[in-house]
Amino acid sequence: MPITREEEEALNDHFLINSYVEGFATSQADTILFDQFRSTPNQDLHNLHRWYKHIDSFGSDRSKFPGPKRNSLILSVNKIKVTVMMNNKIEKDGPKQVEQQQLEQQLTEDIVDPWNVQASSNKGIDYDKLIDRFGSSRIDDALLERFEKLTGQNPHHFLRRGIFFSHRDMHRILNLVEAGKKFFLYTGRGPSSDSMHVGHLIPFIMTKWLQDVFDVPLIIQMTDDEKYLWKDLKLEHCNNLAYENAKDIIAVGFDMSKTFIFSDVDFIGGEFYKNVLKVQKHVTFNQVKGIFGFDESSNIGKIMFPAIQAVPSFSSSFPFIFGGKKDIPCLIPCAIDQDPYFRMTRDVAPRLGFQKPALIHSTFFPALQGASSKMSASDENSSIFLTDTANQIKKKVNKYAFSGGKDTVEEHREKGGDCEVDVSFMYLRFFMEDDGRLEEIRQQYSSGQMLTGELKAELIQVLVIIIGICIFKVNPYTVFTCQH
């Protein structure tokens, strides 16, 4: 029997965290499974697709994979049993046909990794499915209640509104807080554009709130090395961008007496580098291939980079902050696309005698043009930049923010606007702190009482204030000095 779609999905989940059928090395189990496929698996199952392409690249060497030759294989993933038998072997399609099939394939599952975010439907990413696929946990009411109890404060609106929606091990962190113990925060940014846009601020705004309510140290990593390795940019330029972006980040208002922000290029060495080496020694090429999709033509800098993003999670990387302590737990606020780095980190940590970092994950910030279109720092009309003037903000919102309003005033008054797809409303969910006012707007807009122009005017006001706060808070003289 050929492999069913359900089985393919189960296999896709398997390859999310495993490089190969039997874990982290090739074996005859890969060969037999490979032989079951009539053609390259659909690209929307990108973990399975990646595994297939990788196994395919071995050519006839597949028969030399270690392990006894097998006639059958049974694999259990997510309660689904995938059974394959040797005599199911099916002739493969010629390469042309395969290519054609791929072209015709529609994405049926969202793609989310550090380099690609692509929704399969125009409703945007399905975050519930992502939690299932990634195996993280939902930020639910019980967790919010614990936040409230422990901080004595209403949880930040990013938490209340599901903008941060998923976590790993957050209860462990709250248990520590309950016991009067400390943890530290770690987040970062890959500096690839001169100016940051409002979406880039989301993890930093969350982090600032966490630093305020828990009064804990914060590490901010600027991955100028990462951007150099991935983008067609000069090294000097990436390094300069790290310092430029750091000003915008500092402007979010962290407690700078408890915050260390650094450029990888300028800082890495000493204990930090020792930890990088330890991670490097304990993670194989096969593992990162499986997690990140690297292949033989990836430059070798990329292949080792995940070790660099991993080690700020370990307190011993910063002896001048943590006095050489190895066991201070770490909490990482980040957008969910960064999760693969930290799945790897959590996997390797216990083998090095370190604690696994905890995480809270945010949804993505939509482009002005709508939740399913891609926001890019190189398209200046796809978002609001921190350098935009009040006039530019007004023009951009009025001209580009995708509207859920109706075509004519009459129709709008009668049928009302659709807040689910209206980008101005989505942005207000991110940036309007006042729950009461937000709810009022939602009701008035969806009943047709409020027009699109009025909704946009509300947003413009909120954005001008946010950006104003950011610009004026920057004191160029407090921009970090790189301690070493």
Contacts of 437 (CB under 8 A, 6+ apart): none
Give the whole-angstrom CA distance, residue 244 versus residue 196.
9
Q: Please report whether residue 221 would count as binding ligand TRP according to CB under 6 A.
A: yes
Minimum CB separation of residue 309 from ligand TRP in Å reads: 5
**Binding positions for ligand TRP, 357-416, rule CB under 6 A:** none
- What is the CA 483 to chain-centroid distance, rounded? 28
Minimum CB separation of residue 263 from ligand TRP in Å reads: 11
Instruction: Select the span of 91-99, 219-227, 243-251, 411-419 touching ligand TRP (CB under 6 A).
Output: 219-227
Instruction: Select the span of 10-18, 182-190, 269-277, 382-390 touching ligand TRP (CB under 6 A).
Output: 182-190
C-beta closer to ligand TRP: residue 346 or 394:
346
C-beta closer to ligand TRP: residue 238 or 470:
238
Minimum CB separation of residue 207 from ligand TRP in Å reads: 9
CB atoms within 10 A of CB 390: 14
C-beta closer to ligand TRP: residue 338 or 424:
338
Give the whole-angstrom CA distance, residue 312 versus residue 330.
9
Q: How far is CA 367 from each of CA 317, 354, 385, rounded to the nearest angstrom?
A: 36, 38, 12
# binding residues, ligand TRP (CB under 6 A): 12
DSSP for 185-254, please give it: EEEEE---SSS-BGGGGHHHHHHHHHHHHHT--EEEEE-HHHHHHHSS--HHHHHHHHHHHHHHHHTTT-
Q: Are strands 111-112 and 218-222 parallel, antiparallel or unpaired?
A: unpaired
C-beta closer to ligand TRP: residue 36 or 221:
221
Annotate each residue in 264-303 with x if it binds ligand TRP (CB under 6 A) or - if it does not, as one string.
----------------------------------------
Which one of 28, 187, 362, 382 is in contact with ligand TRP (CB under 6 A)?
Answer: 187
Instruction: Select the span of 218-226, 234-242, 350-358, 448-456 touching ligand TRP (CB under 6 A).
Output: 218-226
Minimum CB separation of residue 440 from ligand TRP in Å reads: 34
Minimum CB separation of residue 136 from ligand TRP in Å reads: 15
C-beta closer to ligand TRP: residue 165 or 186:
186
Q: Please report whether residue 207 would count as binding ligand TRP according to CB under 6 A.
A: no
162, burial (CB in 10 Å: exposed 0-12, middle 13-18, buried 19+): middle
Give the whole-angstrom CA distance, residue 127 versus residue 120.
12
Minimum CB separation of residue 372 from ligand TRP in Å reads: 21
Instruction: Select the span of 79-87, 188-196, 273-281, 464-472 touching ligand TRP (CB under 6 A).
Output: 188-196
Q: Are strands 80-85 and 111-112 parallel, antiparallel or unpaired?
A: unpaired
Instruction: Select the span of 47-55, 134-142, 181-189, 319-327 touching ligand TRP (CB under 6 A).
Output: 181-189
Minimum CB separation of residue 168 from ligand TRP in Å reads: 13
258, burial (CB in 10 Å: exposed 0-12, middle 13-18, buried 19+): middle
Q: Please report whether residue 332 would count as binding ligand TRP according to CB under 6 A.
A: yes
Give the whole-angstrom CA distance, residue 261 versus residue 256.
9
C-beta closer to ligand TRP: residue 332 or 401:
332
C-beta closer to ligand TRP: residue 309 or 363:
309
Provide the edge-to-edge strand list for the sheet that holds 259-263: 137-138, 164-168, 358-362, 330-335, 184-189, 218-222, 259-263
Partners of 112 in the beta sheet? 117
Q: Please report whether residue 189 would count as binding ligand TRP according to CB under 6 A.
A: yes
Which one of 124, 155, 190, 293 is in contact with ligand TRP (CB under 6 A)?
Answer: 190
Give the whole-angstrom CA distance, residue 396 versus residue 380.
9
Minimum CB separation of residue 358 from ligand TRP in Å reads: 12
Which one of 28, 136, 259, 338 is in contact with ligand TRP (CB under 6 A)?
Answer: 338
C-beta closer to ligand TRP: residue 288 or 332:
332
Q: Please report whether residue 226 would count as binding ligand TRP according to CB under 6 A.
A: yes
C-beta closer to ligand TRP: residue 223 or 363:
223
Partners of 361 in the beta sheet? 166, 334
At residue 112, what are phi and psi to the nearest 5 degrees? -140, 105
Q: Are the C-beta atoms of residues 174 and 146 closer than 8 Å to each other? A: yes
Helix, strand, coil % in the chain, rounded to nearest 5: 50, 10, 35
**Strand positions, DSSP E, 264-401:** 330-335, 358-362
Contacts of 316 (CB under 8 A, 6+ apart): 271, 275, 322, 324, 325, 326, 354
Q: Please report whether residue 188 would count as binding ligand TRP according to CB under 6 A.
A: yes
Q: Please report whether residue 309 would count as binding ligand TRP according to CB under 6 A.
A: yes
Minimum CB separation of residue 407 from ligand TRP in Å reads: 39
Q: Which residues bind ligand TRP (CB under 6 A)?
A: 186-190, 221, 223, 226, 309, 332, 334, 338
